[in-house]
Structure 1
């Protein structure tokens, strides 16, 4: 259970006036016209026409095809520590300019962020205002696009010269993303270790830290019974199943475990209603 006494369990939320939210739709649409085309098809978070269902389906299809054709694959579910709060502003402004954003729009964003202040309220007492130095504003309409672009450049740098991945229908799939939920695919333990290390190195350069204790690896290897003797890969726990974007994904390729889980959740909810 999450402790309410630990500062690390809290997140900064931007409280923005309604007038500002309405006005921010204008620069947001301008930014979309320049940046939407830069977001890779592997990213489904905050992207129109895409959602969690597509990503869950793709992961399940990859597992099913791996078992059907007896091809071993390794799936890594990456967990970032406070990804939205760790975005380095200088790196963000530079990334926006590199991707073709006009200077006046970048200047507008800099004013929006660098002139802002925050306060902390504890036990009814409000602290003095202080300036922030990193992170995208959670609660701001522009933040999802900014974060997608930031993680896009991280993945591009990671994939430079990278040749491994799963090939389906002539298309190579090395990763799937939903905002900061990143999934990596590799064809061997060595490739997965190298892939994760390379991504971690690039991410640290941009201020994002991978939490290896919460990052999990799944082995799908029908020929070797999913290698039960392997308990860790790249200092990450090896799991038989994982709750991915709200759905339980298992390395046996089936949905029975997910159905049982959903039934248990429903039963628990109904039991609580009986007390009303």
Structure 2
């Protein structure tokens, strides 16, 4: 896995790996050695919460969802390493080291796909077979577009039960419904 991670980072033009082959993270303390990818992986896997220590608190189930969607294990491992306390260098008047956080990652192509994989996994965990509406001969219980979900039911009570179940399953992997954006028709 370290080889895959190293190759991935060496291909990035402003990555800290490109300037320090074999090392993934550089601690902020001046008198300490950089961490290797295997040290980071061991630390994350040994934490009781199975969450990375960065600001995004990436839950292990989020990464596992990629495997459930058919993503090869070596790429899942690279994603896990990439989303754990990584930084990138940005040229300015002088080079600036920027920690990769949620807002920074939102411009990449992996984040929406990772979110979609996690959301698909959450929806598969929901038992919605009994909640379906016939639409042109197809039984549908929800429609999705990016992070928007439309729940299709016959009654408001069914929609409430589906929403509650979606929220419960989503919380297990770090997702949460935004009550302010929830609407019914």
Question: Quick one: structure 1 residues 193 and 108, their matched pair in 2 at CA, closer, same or farther if it must change by over 3 Å?
Answer: same
Question: Relative contact order (C-alpha < 8 Å, sep 6+): which is higher?
Answer: 1
Inter-partner Cα distance in structure 2 for 1:149 and 1:157? 13
Inter-partner Cα distance in structure 1 for 2:57 and 2:132? 27
What's the CA shift for 1:20?
A: 3.2
Deviation string 1:170-189 (CA, Å, 9 cap, x unpaired) is: 31111111110111111012
Question: Quick one: structure 1 residues 94 and 87, their matched pair in 2 at CA, closer, same or farther if it must change by over 3 Å?
Answer: same
Counterpart in the other structure of 1:155: 123
Are 1:200 and 1:209, in contact at CA under 8 Å, matched by a contact in 2?
A: yes
What's the CA shift for 1:135?
A: 8.5
Inter-partner Cα distance in structure 2 for 1:201 and 1:110? 24
1:144 maps onto 2:112 in alignment: yes
Q: Which runs of 5+ in 1 are unaligned?
A: 1-18, 22-84, 119-127, 219-276
Question: Quick one: structure 1 residues 152 and 86, their matched pair in 2 at CA, closer, same or farther if it must change by over 3 Å?
Answer: farther
Question: Quick one: structure 1 residues 88 and 111, their matched pair in 2 at CA, closer, same or farther if it must change by over 3 Å?
Answer: closer
Inter-partner Cα distance in structure 1 for 2:71 and 2:103? 19
What's the CA shift for 1:168?
A: 2.3
What's the CA shift for 1:137?
A: 1.9
Inter-partner Cα distance in structure 2 for 1:112 and 1:209? 23
The structure with more radius of gyration: 1
Inter-partner Cα distance in structure 1 for 2:129 and 2:82? 37
**Alignment match of 1:170 (pick from 137, 157, 161):** 137
Are 1:86 and 1:208, in contact at CA under 8 Å, matched by a contact in 2?
A: no
**Alignment match of 1:20 (pick from 3, 7, 12):** 12
**Alignment match of 2:75 (pick from 101, 105, 111):** 105
1:216 maps onto 2:159 in alignment: no
TM-align CA RMSD? 3.2
Question: Quick one: structure 1 residues 135 and 92, their matched pair in 2 at CA, closer, same or farther if it must change by over 3 Å?
Answer: farther
What's the CA shift for 1:156?
A: 1.1
Question: Quick one: structure 1 residues 193 and 187, their matched pair in 2 at CA, closer, same or farther if it must change by over 3 Å?
Answer: same
SS at match of 2:152: strand
Matched positions, count = 128
TM-score when scaled to structure 2?
Answer: 0.58
Moved over 6 A (4+): none
Inter-partner Cα distance in structure 2 for 1:157 and 1:136? 30
What's the CA shift for 1:204?
A: 1.2
Inter-partner Cα distance in structure 2 for 1:95 and 1:145? 11
